[in-house]
Amino acid sequence: MSWLRRDQSADSQQAAAPGAPGAAGAPGVAGTAPGAPSALAAASLATAAPVPQPLLTIDALGRKCPIPIIMLAEQIRDVPVGAVIAVLADDPAAYTDVPAWCGMKSHEFVFRSELDSGWAFGIRRRY
């Protein structure tokens, strides 16, 4: 599943091996050039409240709803209860669909941060 990454381990691999799979420019993978801040890190710097560090980031940029929700629903079981998942999306429907999905599924909607193109949504797994 090339459209997701484990943030902590993927960041160190990308920095150590530029041009490797998952590095900047790879389609569907949340990544940045070595030394450049990630979109989620840039979003957290722009907000006043601290943004929890996500364990998993799902890059749904460029995908239309309901694909970001389907991607989230498939991957939420892969993180422990209490962990935060970030979803990056730029479809206008995601702005309301992600918080609504959290309410319907009883997960906690933690944050929504503006990105240059779209939003970063934080979801805490509750069960």
In 3D space, the residue among 83, 29, 22 whose CA is nearest the CA of residue 59 turns out to be 29
107 contacts 124 by C-beta, under 8 angstroms: yes
Please, what sign has the CA dihedral across residues 49, 50, 54, 60? positive
Catalytic, out of 41, 55, 65, 79: 65
Distance CA(34)–CA(37), nearest Å, equals 8
Residue 102 designated active-site: no
Instruction: Return the active site residues.
Output: 65
